[in-house]
């Protein structure tokens, strides 16, 4: 136990030194990396750049240990506090804050027995998706819009973790497909179709929407299958055929 405390203190000391070096190297000309719609410039590392870098480094190190252990290491318990500080105080410090945050909170939701706590974790998970849309609407490598993709993942998690929020799920997945069109992910299409059926069963939409959604999702899948086969990508073409088979099977009782 004593050795663990010493190791943790040593790690913290190293991270503090690293953060100080990073902060000293900041060029004031490059501090503002995000221009908001109202013209306000948002600093990449927040108002407290040293603490931002420290907390990013802290949570990242413990997160790395947790992932390396196949999510069995107790280091996950050390992740929450520094991650939450980063999420609140330097939202554009790194897009990994959101990528990793989703994994962290999916784990918390799936391992929490207390219903009230689980609901709070689900709310936080949704906030992670929303904040990523706000600050990282475009992919950092390609520069392409990614809001549709992010909303797709959000909608899937809503469907899985919050079945009572089926209207939110439906609207989120519908928006995702409207944005991504033929580039929609196959899994998103599957969950969208399921959400349409649930909405119809709850009398929130007309039952004819099931047929419309089926036609829409199948058209997108067929478009991708044709393109992938033409490109010689048989593996992904087969994946999309499996997505299509899933939707066909779900639709069968309504045909």
Counting the structural domains of the chain, the total is 1
Report yes or no on 106 lying in a domain: no
Report yes or no on 223 lying in a domain: no
Report yes or no on 64 lying in a domain: yes
> Is pLDDT at 44 greater than 70 in this prediction?
yes
> Is pLDDT at 223 greater than 80 in this prediction?
yes
Task: Report d(CA 78, CA 134) in Å as an integer.
Answer: 27
Whole-number pLDDT of residue 177: 99
Q: How many residues does the chain have?
A: 255
- Tokens in use for 16? 């503090």
Start-to-end C-alpha separation, the chain: 63
- Tokens in use for 147? 């809001």
Residue 173 CA: distances (Å) to CA of 134, 183, 188:
17, 14, 7
Give, as one character, the DSSP assignment of residue 181: G
Confidence label for 28 from pLDDT (cuts 50, 70 and 90): very low
Report yes or no on 225 lying in a domain: no
Report yes or no on 144 lying in a domain: no
Task: Report d(CA 78, CA 83) in Å as an integer.
Answer: 9
Report yes or no on 181 lying in a domain: no
Whole-number pLDDT of residue 30: 41
Q: What is the dihedral of CA 18, 24, 27, 31, to 10 degrees?
A: 70
Whole-number pLDDT of residue 22: 52
Q: What does residue 213 show for φ and ψ, rounded to 5 degrees? A: -65, -35
Task: Report d(CA 58, CA 198) in Å as an integer.
Answer: 42
Report yes or no on 142 lying in a domain: no
pTM, to two decimals: 0.85
- Domain coverage including residue 25: 1-91
- Tokens in use for 220? 């997108």
Q: Which residue has the tokens 């039952």?
A: 207
Residue 255 CA: distances (Å) to CA of 57, 194, 211, 213, 247:
54, 15, 8, 13, 12
Report yes or no on 40 lying in a domain: yes
> Is pLDDT at 254 greater than 70 in this prediction?
yes
Which ranges of the chain would DSSP assign to H, the alpha helix? 2-25, 49-68, 76-89, 96-111, 115-135, 147-161, 166-180, 186-201, 208-230, 234-251
144-172 pLDDT, tens digit per residue, is 999 999 999 999 999 999 999 999 999 99
Torsion sign across C-alpha atoms 156, 216, 130, 123? negative
Task: Report d(CA 105, CA 124) in Å as an integer.
Answer: 8
Q: Exposed e or buried b for every residue in 183-198, given b needs 16+ CB within 10 A? A: ebbbebbbbbbbbbbb
């Amino acid at each position: 136990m004593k050795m663990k405390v010493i190791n943790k203190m040593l790690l913290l000391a190293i991270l503090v030194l690293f953060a100080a070096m990073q902060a000293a190297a900041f060029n004031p000309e490059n501090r503002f990396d995000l221009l908001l719609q109202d013209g306000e410039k948002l600093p990449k590392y927040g108002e407290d750049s040293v603490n931002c870098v420290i907390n990013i480094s802290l949570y990242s190190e413990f997160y790395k240990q947790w992932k390396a252990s196949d999510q069995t290491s107790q280091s996950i318990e050390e992740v929450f506090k520094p991650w939450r500080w980063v999420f609140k105080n330097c939202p554009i410090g790194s897009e990994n804050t959101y990528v990793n945050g989703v994994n962290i909170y999916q784990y918390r939701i799936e391992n929490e027995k207390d219903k009230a706590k689980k609901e709070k974790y689900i709310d936080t998970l949704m906030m992670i998706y929303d904040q990523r849309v706000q600050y990282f609407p475009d992919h950092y490598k390609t520069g392409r819009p990614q809001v549709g993709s992010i909303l797709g993942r959000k909608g899937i998690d809503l469907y899985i973790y919050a079945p009572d929020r089926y209207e939110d799920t439906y609207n989120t997945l519908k928006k995702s497909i409207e944005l991504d069109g033929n580039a929609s992910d196959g899994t998103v299409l599957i969950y969208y179709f399921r959400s349409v059926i649930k909405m119809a069963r709850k009398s929130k939409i007309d039952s004819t929407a099931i047929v419309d959604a089926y036609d829409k999702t199948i058209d997108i899948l067929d478009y991708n299958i044709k393109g992938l086969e033409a490109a010689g990508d048989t593996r992904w073409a087969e994946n999309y055929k499996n997505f299509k088979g899933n939707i066909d099977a779900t639709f069968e009782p309504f045909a």
